[in-house]
Structure 1
Amino acid sequence: MKHPVLRRTTIAALCACWPLAAIADEIRNPMNVVVVSGTRAEHTSFDLPAAIDVVDAAQIGAAQLRVNASEALAAVPGIVVRNRENYAQDLQISSRGFGTRSAFGVRGVRLVADGIPATMPDGQGQAATFNLDLAERIEVLRGPFSALYGNHSGGVVQLFTREPTDRPTVEASFTGGSFGQRKLDTNASGRSGGIGYLIDASRFETDGYRDHSAATRDQAYAKLVVEPTSTSRLVITASGLRQDDTQDPLGVTWDTFRRDPRAGEIDTTDTRSPQRTLAERYDTRKSIDHQQFGATFEQRFGKDRLQVTAYGGNRRVIQYQSFSRGFQAPLTHSGGVIDFDRDFYGIDANWRTVRTLAGGTLRTTAGLEMASSKDARQGFENFIGNTFGVKGNLRRDENNDVTSVDPYVQVEWERDQWVLTGGLRHSRVDFDVEDQYLSNGNDSGGTDFRHTTPLVGVLYKISPTLNVYASAARGFETPTMNESFYSGTGGGFNFALKPAIGTHLEVGAKAMVASGVRVNAAVFQVKTKDELVVDASSGGRTSYRNASATLRQGGELSVDAELGAGWNARIAMSMLHAIYDEGFGAVPKGSRLPGVPKSSFYGELGWKEAAGRYGVALETVANSKVYAEDTNTAQTAPGYAVVNARVQASQQFGGWRLRQFARLNNLFDRDYVGSVIVGDANRRYYEAAPGSNWLLGVSAQYQF
């Protein structure tokens, strides 16, 4: 078969769609989803001229560990979330091809939780800080509208925790599964003395699917809701994340992956222990200690509203990286141990008015967002004598400051069938470096990036069940501080990097094709100049450069159907043509952007008993092949399709509610590459995904 993945994807799509025709007469009316992303105020997603999907609490907790956002976002078109089976490096999240180059963490996609950015002002974010146990919904915004959120290119992923319950409620859950996965979570909710409260604490442990990939993660979250008056509301949140000595399995070569997907790369320079892997020899690992707090105050004046959000926190990271002897000399600029202590804080204040204009309704939001992160950063050699994986001599000592100041305004005018939207945001991002380790030269300096982002959008309501829209924006994406750390294979800061500037165009349609069946479709194009690409990558250090122009063209389709007799179905399909529109260096024009699949598919067919006591579902996830580097000459990560199954049950006994679930992932035990490390100089591009694996979970909730 020439295209086996495409054939399996098509078959899965037909299977998922079959009930739409078979029992269309029994379809029920869906609820119109209300979102905040895109307009910063409640708005029906159906009437918003943007591609936006909502993952609700039922989908987030659908027989899952609730540890990785990849569990919940697989069903969103245009988004590819790769679980690297590496808790030292976080997930890879890409939106319409933006974000796939990130060596660790999330970049190119803005992350927000309860109105508080989980993305720093330089554009780097951590999805691990999301608390999925208490999530009410996740909104995923793609395309031009996301440009109004500032420094990034691809989209916005925004999480909202649920509201406190009216009656006191306590809950405990336990989940266990393959590879020593186990998670214990407890939470409590209620209201007392006019204050709503929500608290949660969890511990997750895993032995790891890949060699040297064990991890322990502790998370805590608290939320207080106060309504001082009938027209005001104050929400205070606090959260923490702690991971001690999380093992980093590193990437492997194609030969190693073919030999054993779970194996690490052998360190051929280790003559004393010839079978020891690089990860074992250097004991590659990362420790994270992250705390943050935030407060959002909202005051309503009739239809108008003032909202102010302030937040702050601290993030401490110690990471032990690997390098081979052959690369040791040019990389002694910073050593193999990263140690930084970051303080971050920010504020977002906006004023929203609603007025009548020219027979229609004019909604205007004007605001100012400011953010700052300050790093005390050191680097050390990762060896003492012949002992590796220990903190050695100091090689780096500096203070890194990033600040951003972004005023913005957005207007929406609605009359009859028309909704017109416009927006403007001016971003200024300043980098400042104070080098205190001068034996290898003074790398002190700074740079700033400025850009004004315009947005226009129009939506036309052809009928009560069909809307069409078009939107355009000009966004930008600065290099992150991490991407500026190195020049070439080992030089100092790269202050010569320029921001990538992208022109985004999108046309789409949203339709209720039958009572209970909703279809969203969009086609888009993004032209980017000065795209940031990998220049050199080795031993955990990656340097970047500006390339020539790139072109992204694609389409997205999602179908959600509530079917009679307890059946439901969902399909999410994406096509993306992402290439270098101009050649550079050894990369010819027309080369595919690495890390970006040309096609992605998610299909689900489920059934739930009328009272909601039992439910089953079958899922299919498929992605086409991806290239590992810019020239497209290295072995591609082949395309794949996997099938998952889940079953859920619940019982109610007075104030008690009991739940159980079982999940089987990768039913046919497919070996495949879950993610790639783009541009790795040692060709260790590949990170394996798990074979067949299982999860079992139970929970007990009591409401007083």
Structure 2
Amino acid sequence: MHHPFRLKAVASLFAASSTLLAPVARATDPMLPMADVVVVSGSRIAHTSFDLPAAVDVVDAARISDGQMRVNASEALASVPGLVAQNRQNYAQDLQISSRGFGARSAFGVRGVRLIGDGVPATMPDGQGQPSAFNLDRAERIEVLRGPFSAIYGNHSGGVIQLFTRDGQGRPTLETNLASGSDGARKTDISAQGSSGALGYVIDASRFATDGYRDHSAATRDQSFVKLTMTPTKDGTLTLVANTLRQDGTEDPLGVTWATYQRDPRAGEIDTTDTQTPKRTLAGRYNTRKDIRHQQIGIAYDQKFGDDRLHVMTYGGNRQVVQYQAFSKGFQAAPSQSGGVVDFDRNFYGVDINWVSIRALAAGTLTTTIGIDYGHSTDERTGYENFIGSQLGVQGALRRDEQDTLASADPYLQAEWQAGAWVLTGGMRHTRLTVQVGDRFLANGNDSGSANFSHTTPVLGVLYKVNPLLNVYASTARGFETPTLNELFYSGTGGGFNFNLRAAQSTHLEAGAKAIIAPNTRINGALFQVRTSDELVVDSAVGGRTSYKNASKTLRQGAELSIDSTLGAGISGRVAVTALRAVYDEGVGNVLAGSRLPGVPNANLFAELAWKNASDHIGAALETIASSKIYADDANSDIPAPGYTVLNARVNAKQVVGAWRFKQFARVNNLLDRGYIGSLIVGDTNKRYYEAAPGRNWMVGASIAYTF
């Protein structure tokens, strides 16, 4: 029996907003500019978010950079409702990001949420993405799209996160940023930007290093970025974006049991098979670590033909990873396993071509987008035992040798008709994904094979402008998630590739309101429901190897509310609240109907009160981040990560002296020094679920820029 999710408070707010605003709306109202946040997510063309029938938030450059070291996108994304972005304190596994519960069970990186940087996918064709590829130093904004309209981006689009970097403009500027913080964190960033004639350029290089909060979690990250913009023809723009990422010897602290977390949140899990006294941790004994090399380039050309536009984008890159995991010898001895060292060399490329046409139709305007996405990746993948004799954490005998190929082709069509107070939007995308495995290590049998997935994702939305200060909308879509390549690798605890996994399919419904009320306050609210069949859940997770299976039906019902207000005297505030009931709609195995989906809180909150002086030369803010408890396993039988509330504070200042610009910031996170679980490794068979967040920690930074 289903228990209805009570959202009366939000529904009442929508009704109250309509009643309040109807008599005071005026086309010349000075509050209207608050609505003019231009986005491209959801419609693929420049569009005010206020008039889009979708839940979309924009994180601006100030929120990304002010009072932050600009290393983890999770800090900037904390203010977005419906999104859970966690810094795992583990740079070997990247951030955990989920949107309305999609992606919460990812073992590493991001799945279930589509990542895009300057139009170039940071998500592979199978749905696995790496947010560490984003360059936050030169970011202009991040757009976060949630709900039904995410489905127009295809496979694994439970949400869409797009980062846009700034274009080079004006006179040449050189800038240096220096920052440091707790646990030996330090970062240096050097950049140059400007324009010369029709050429704009942005160049950036940075190094980040940390000793790590948790035991065995040190990391060094080197990034570089180049963006060139040109106007080779009238109404034509050519953009080139290239970036690199290098992480050598990034330590992996692994998860720990509840007992270890209670004993010492910073400690690693003890390896009970170790014969030494005192015993060593699993991470230390196996020296769990990861080396990453990532480089990519994208070239886009946009040409206007009157009101119409042609967009052609192509990209390519290479990603190399060597990872040392923690397995016992007995576990490695199973003939169908690949050993504790992962080594792959991936080449990927793709193209996106679309045409946007704008025409008058029936007293309104029809905007049509037709296009095709193609993505391809090839992995040369090997695996080795992680021991030689009694020495652990070294590359041993070959246990895996294969070529893995992914290819997806996605034609899509989207149309929007605006007339008077109505905006009608519809779209459709058809995805065909092919996975092919060529096994060259035949000592444990031939795991060669293939899998094919195809699905059509329709989207439909309607928005009604009640008055210039209030829009209401509704939308619906079908979505799907194929198994990622890593989710296909293992069958249970001992088998090879699992080509029998099916794609999860979901039906999304959403209704929302966007309102501006006096004085200078904007409110966005949404109610949503998602029903999913064949949800992909963890079957077994041991020592870094995770296998998956298809479960029964799941249900997500929730509400999102955000309020932004300028209160006067330089004071502003933001509140973002999410309530989410994510459960198994049908039982499966030992998981009862009504059990909560692991990794998903049923409520979280971000609140900020900020101040800046009239000249905008000094500012300060207090932030509150809160979350309810989160279960780590499907049956909800193990100890959940308790709920928490933390308080952060920051101050920032800037000065301009002639051609020089100076900035400084200081930040203290977790002011009250609360102990809490920052993230979970969902479904770990050894119950090493827990990854501790830092106690009270600090960072300071300064920058100096000169404009020639």
| TM-score, normalised with respect to structure 1 | 0.96
- Matched to 1:218, the amino acid is D
Q: Give the superposition deviation at 1:564.
A: 1.2
- Matched to 2:316, the amino acid is G
Q: Please give the residue correspondences for 1:37-116 in structure 2 after superposition, counting only pairs within 5 Å.
A: 37-116=41-120
- Matched to 2:667, the amino acid is R
- Matched to 2:511, the amino acid is V
For residues 469-496 of structure 1, what are the alpha-carbon distances to aligned partners after superposition, in whole Å with 9 as ceiling and x for unaligned? Answer: 0000001100000000000002100000
Distance 1:503 1:331, change over 3 A: farther
Distance 1:567 1:385 in 2: 65
Distance 2:32 2:401 in 1: 62
In structure 2, the residue corresponding to 1:88 is in which secondary structure?
A: coil
**Residue 630 of structure 1 aligns with which residue?**
634
Q: Is the 8 A contact 1:27 1:563 kept in 2?
A: no
**Residue 238 of structure 2 aligns with which residue?**
234
Q: Is the 8 A contact 2:216 2:252 kept in 1?
A: yes
Question: Is residue 668 from structure 1 mapped to residue 668 from structure 2 by the alignment?
Answer: no
**Residue 619 of structure 2 aligns with which residue?**
615
In structure 2, the residue corresponding to 1:72 is in which secondary structure?
A: helix
In structure 2, the residue corresponding to 1:330 is in which secondary structure?
A: coil
- Matched to 1:656, the amino acid is W
Q: Give the superposition deviation at 1:193.
A: 4.0
* Residue correspondences, number: 680
For residues 94-113 of structure 1, what are the alpha-carbon distances to aligned partners after superposition, in whole Å with 9 as ceiling and x for unaligned? Answer: 00001011000100000000
**Residue 420 of structure 1 aligns with which residue?**
424
**Match 1:476 to one of 468, 475, 480:** 480
Q: Is the 8 A contact 1:107 1:125 kept in 2?
A: yes
**Residue 134 of structure 2 aligns with which residue?**
130
**Match 1:486 to one of 479, 486, 490:** 490
**Residue 377 of structure 1 aligns with which residue?**
381
Distance 1:517 1:508, change over 3 A: same
For residues 320-371 of structure 1, what are the alpha-carbon distances to aligned partners after superposition, in whole Å with 9 as ceiling and x for unaligned? Answer: 0001345333376210000000000000000000001111000000000000
Q: Is the 8 A contact 2:626 2:644 kept in 1?
A: yes
**Residue 174 of structure 1 aligns with which residue?**
178
**Residue 30 of structure 1 aligns with which residue?**
34
For residues 143-173 of structure 1, what are the alpha-carbon distances to aligned partners after superposition, in whole Å with 9 as ceiling and x for unaligned? Answer: 0000000101410000000111211001001
Q: Is the 8 A contact 1:28 1:562 kept in 2?
A: no
Q: Please give the residue correspondences for 1:202-221 in structure 2 after superposition, counting only pairs within 5 Å.
A: 202-221=206-225
**Residue 453 of structure 2 aligns with which residue?**
449
Distance 2:684 2:441 in 1: 28
Distance 1:593 1:274 in 2: 38
Distance 1:27 1:437 in 2: 66
In structure 1, the residue corresponding to 2:453 is in which secondary structure?
A: strand
Q: Give the superposition deviation at 1:632.
A: 0.3
Question: Is residue 508 from structure 1 mapped to residue 512 from structure 2 by the alignment?
Answer: yes
In structure 2, the residue corresponding to 1:633 is in which secondary structure?
A: coil
Q: Is the 8 A contact 1:331 1:489 kept in 2?
A: no
Q: Is the 8 A contact 2:35 2:49 kept in 1?
A: no
Distance 1:637 1:326, change over 3 A: farther
- Matched to 2:603, the amino acid is S
**Match 1:296 to one of 293, 300, 313:** 300
The structure 1 segments of at least 4 consecutive aligned residues displaced by more than 4 Å after TM superposition are: 25-29
For residues 591-632 of structure 1, what are the alpha-carbon distances to aligned partners after superposition, in whole Å with 9 as ceiling and x for unaligned? Answer: 100000000000000000111100000000000000000010
- Matched to 2:285, the amino acid is R
Where does structure 2 lack aligned partners over 5 or more consecutive residues?
Answer: 1-28
In structure 2, the residue corresponding to 1:124 is in which secondary structure?
A: coil
Q: Is the 8 A contact 1:29 1:515 kept in 2?
A: no
Q: Is the 8 A contact 1:344 1:371 kept in 2?
A: yes
Q: Please give the residue correspondences for 1:135-146 in structure 2 after superposition, counting only pairs within 5 Å.
A: 135-146=139-150
Question: Is residue 650 from structure 1 mapped to residue 654 from structure 2 by the alignment?
Answer: yes
Q: Is the 8 A contact 1:330 1:489 kept in 2?
A: no
Where does structure 1 lack aligned partners over 5 or more consecutive residues?
Answer: 1-24
Q: Please give the residue correspondences for 1:144-293 in structure 2 after superposition, counting only pairs within 5 Å.
A: 144-293=148-297
- Matched to 1:333, the amino acid is Q
Distance 2:157 2:379 in 1: 24
Distance 1:328 1:310 in 2: 41
**Match 1:316 to one of 308, 314, 320:** 320
In structure 1, the residue corresponding to 2:473 is in which secondary structure?
A: strand
Identity of aligned residues (%): 65
Question: Is residue 659 from structure 1 mapped to residue 681 from structure 2 by the alignment?
Answer: no
Q: Is the 8 A contact 1:26 1:563 kept in 2?
A: no
In structure 2, the residue corresponding to 1:125 is in which secondary structure?
A: coil
- Matched to 1:476, the amino acid is F
In structure 2, the residue corresponding to 1:265 is in which secondary structure?
A: coil
Distance 1:113 1:309 in 2: 12
**Residue 311 of structure 2 aligns with which residue?**
307
Q: Give the superposition deviation at 1:191.
A: 1.1
**Match 1:120 to one of 121, 124, 138:** 124
Distance 1:358 1:239, change over 3 A: same
Q: Give the superposition deviation at 1:513.
A: 1.4
**Residue 408 of structure 2 aligns with which residue?**
404
Distance 1:384 1:332 in 2: 19
Distance 2:524 2:659 in 1: 40
Distance 1:326 1:417 in 2: 68
Q: Is the 8 A contact 2:336 2:495 kept in 1?
A: no
Q: Give the superposition deviation at 1:272.
A: 2.1
TM-align CA RMSD? 1.2
**Residue 333 of structure 1 aligns with which residue?**
337
Question: Is residue 579 from structure 1 mapped to residue 583 from structure 2 by the alignment?
Answer: yes
Q: Is the 8 A contact 2:70 2:136 kept in 1?
A: yes
**Residue 21 of structure 2 aligns with which residue?**
none
In structure 1, the residue corresponding to 2:569 is in which secondary structure?
A: helix
- Matched to 2:63, the amino acid is Q
In structure 1, the residue corresponding to 2:333 is in which secondary structure?
A: helix
- Matched to 2:548, the amino acid is Y
In structure 2, the residue corresponding to 1:422 is in which secondary structure?
A: strand
**Residue 342 of structure 1 aligns with which residue?**
346
**Residue 702 of structure 1 aligns with which residue?**
706
Q: Is the 8 A contact 2:63 2:76 kept in 1?
A: yes
Distance 1:95 1:33 in 2: 21
**Match 2:696 to one of 685, 692, 698:** 692
- Matched to 1:160, the amino acid is F
Q: Give the superposition deviation at 1:30.
A: 2.6
Q: Is the 8 A contact 1:30 1:562 kept in 2?
A: no
